């Protein structure tokens, strides 16, 4: 795409990691199509991206719906002619004792964290192939290890790992690159508003809370920018741990 402005579509762009990624890519002049259910957050990201000198198109909606994912991709392609980078970043989390997990919580977590990635991938991949583009999913260390009080979230993120690997295999003979980032704790509204179960046994949480504190959203954005760049041309089907060592052993 030498000489042509790149176009990145990012879900979850209304805050946290999604906003940090939008600003990181905008700093290099990438046009951003941001999606989020949080209209005000999305508008703030749009202002920040434009202040950085890049174009921004905001699309508000619920990413858990297949039609919404396909319409997001169609809007981006219609407005900017194609897509070079797609980031499946939107997600929610929720902790509970396994016995307290109810059907509504399970369905919501699966539909936002997993169906959102699945349907966005389905919609975006044909367009990314046209531009030798990159699809980057945000999974979690929760998709790579067991985590007490986190069965639903870990299941949704393990599914994101599986979607990443299986789409990477199915599109192995095309030019697209499909990878995922797997952070541990990142300082964002998601963790700031996170409520652990009241009577948590900390000895069970320590293995996944890690020893080095939390990452910043900008740290994750840096890895995302690398995966989106030509420097990562040999990376396809990788799950990149950005977890301060929490899955090291």
Active site residues: 153
Q: Is position 112 an interface residue for ligand NAD (rule: CB under 6 A)?
A: yes
- Which one, 124 or 131, has the nearer CB to ligand NAD? 124
By CB neighbour count within 10 A (0-12 exposed, 13-18 middle, 19+ buried), where does 49 fall? Answer: buried
Closest approach of ligand NAD to the CB of residue 36, in Å: 5
Closest approach of ligand NAD to the CB of residue 8, in Å: 15
Q: Is position 89 an interface residue for ligand NAD (rule: CB under 6 A)?
A: yes
Q: Is position 133 an interface residue for ligand NAD (rule: CB under 6 A)?
A: no
Using CA atoms, how far apart are residues 223 and 220, in angstroms rounded to an integer? Answer: 5
- Which one, 173 or 195, has the nearer CB to ligand NAD? 195
By CB neighbour count within 10 A (0-12 exposed, 13-18 middle, 19+ buried), where does 230 fall? Answer: exposed
Residue of 9, 14, 158, 161 that binds ligand NAD (CB under 6 A): 14
Query: Which string of x and - marks every residue 175-214 that binds ligand NAD (by CB under 6 A)?
Result: --------x-xx-xxxx-----------------------
CB 33 within 8 A of CB 61: no
Rounded (5°) CA angle 172-174-176: 90
CB 34 within 8 A of CB 45: yes
- Which one, 89 or 238, has the nearer CB to ligand NAD? 89
């Amino acid at each position: 795409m030498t000489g042509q402005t790149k176009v990145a579509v990012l879900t979850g762009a209304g805050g946290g990691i999604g906003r940090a990624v939008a600003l990181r890519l905008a700093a290099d002049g990438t046009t951003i199509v941001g999606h989020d259910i949080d209209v005000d957050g999305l508008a703030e990201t749009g202002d920040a991206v434009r202040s950085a000198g890049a174009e921004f198109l905001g699309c508000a909606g619920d990413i858990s719906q297949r039609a919404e994912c396909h319409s997001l991709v169609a809007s981006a392609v219609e407005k900017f002619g194609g897509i070079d980078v797609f980031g499946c970043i939107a997600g929610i989390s929720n902790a509970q004792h396994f016995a307290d997990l109810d059907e509504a919580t399970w369905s919501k977590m699966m539909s936002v964290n997993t169906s959102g990635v699945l349907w966005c991938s389905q919609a975006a991949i044909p367009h990314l192939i046209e531009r030798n583009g990159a699809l980057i999913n945000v999974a979690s260390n929760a998709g790579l290890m067991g985590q007490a009080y986190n069965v639903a979230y870990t299941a949704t993120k393990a599914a994101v790992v599986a979607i990443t690997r299986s789409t990477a295999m199915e599109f192995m003979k095309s030019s697209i690159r499909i990878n995922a980032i797997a952070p541990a704790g990142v300082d964002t509204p998601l963790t700031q508003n996170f409520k652990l179960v009241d009577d948590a046994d900390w000895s069970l949480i320590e293995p996944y809370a890690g020893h080095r504190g939390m990452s910043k959203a900008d740290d994750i954005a840096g890895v995302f920018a690398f995966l989106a760049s030509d420097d990562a041309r040999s990376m396809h089907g990788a799950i990149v741990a950005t977890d301060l060592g929490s899955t090291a052993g």
